[in-house]
Structure 1
Amino acid sequence: MSFLSIVLIGFAMSTDAFAAAVGKGAAMQQPRFPEALRAGAIFGVIEGVTPLIGWALGLAAASYVTAWDHWIAFVLLGALGIRMVLAGVRKDAPDEAEGDARPHGFWNLAATGFATSIDAMAVGVGLAFLDVNILLVATVIGVCTLVMVTTGIMLGRALGAIVGKRAEIVGGLILIVIGSVILYEHLSGKAGGIGIG
């Protein structure tokens, strides 16, 4: 898998966290950069660990599904991408800023970070069937999430949840494209580019 693909996955995985951060930033009273950076670090660590867990789970089952590995990656990435796009366009989606009165302490941020990292765990499962450096992928996902969440909180007050929803749509489309290219390269016998490297 090329480094560009890994970076794209990192940003795709961080878009739901960005959407949540925009909502939190809108709910906070004039968030300062240290607060935003702290939230970004919490989200980033959680988002970086969960693909490792998913990868370990996927690796345990890899020997049973080697012949179907690229189809599994395609289906997982495609399904996650579609879900993210649908969540981004859903008109009856709950307001991200709901619960303004709740504190923005460590456990609240950690719980939100974990909730937005489930997709990264599922991607980790899919990556277990590909020839990738999972530590690099996890690190890139974590760093992208740190940057996106920090930015999201700082922009949240001014931009509101609409920008977050659009980011989620873009992230979902990125996952669908990556999954499709992985499948195409497998079926066409190619081993470079965005898939296996």
Structure 2
Amino acid sequence: MGYRDDFYKIENIIGITGPIESLPSVYFQDKKTGEFGHITQIHGCDWNQGRSTVQTDPGYQILNACGGGCSCKRAAAHEYNGQGRCFHPSRSLFVASGALSKEKMEVVAQAIWRCPLEKTDPLDDRERDMQDIIYTDMWRDAHQKGPGGRRNAIDYTGQRLANPLLKIVHPTRV
């Protein structure tokens, strides 16, 4: 079971941001309860992938307009609370679910099972920066060039450990 499966369901999808073929962020809202949230499928920071914490605000809306205290001036989706204050500018334009074909909605709905877990966002800039450094170091360490110049690869042929039956041995190497 995923985080808030009772909320993150197909009938609550209101739209997406990002290209449909590139795992877009999917937005959800339950008009009856005033609950809203979104699933970020791809993001540069690992802690910002997954299901956002479900919040309640009957006045919640998402528009392709910068305003409500936001000064980013980007042509992108902006989430607004019931008081008309922008609390989250997106990276892309919002496309309402009504503008998506049935086939595209089926692709969009895959976010529900692709991302069952809640985001691990520490909600603190200092902690975010520390996590970014840790994950960057881990990625760099995992992708260092190994012996023979390849990433995480051991060059068995250079050590004459290759299987001669498969003719992998390179006689010119020492």
- Structure having the higher Rg: 2
- Band the TM-score falls in, shorter-chain normalisation: under 0.3
* More contact order relative to length (CA 8 Å, sep ≥ 6): 1
- TM-score, structure 1 as length reference: 0.20
Higher strand content, 1 or 2: 2
Higher helix content, 1 or 2: 1
- TM-score, structure 2 as length reference: 0.22
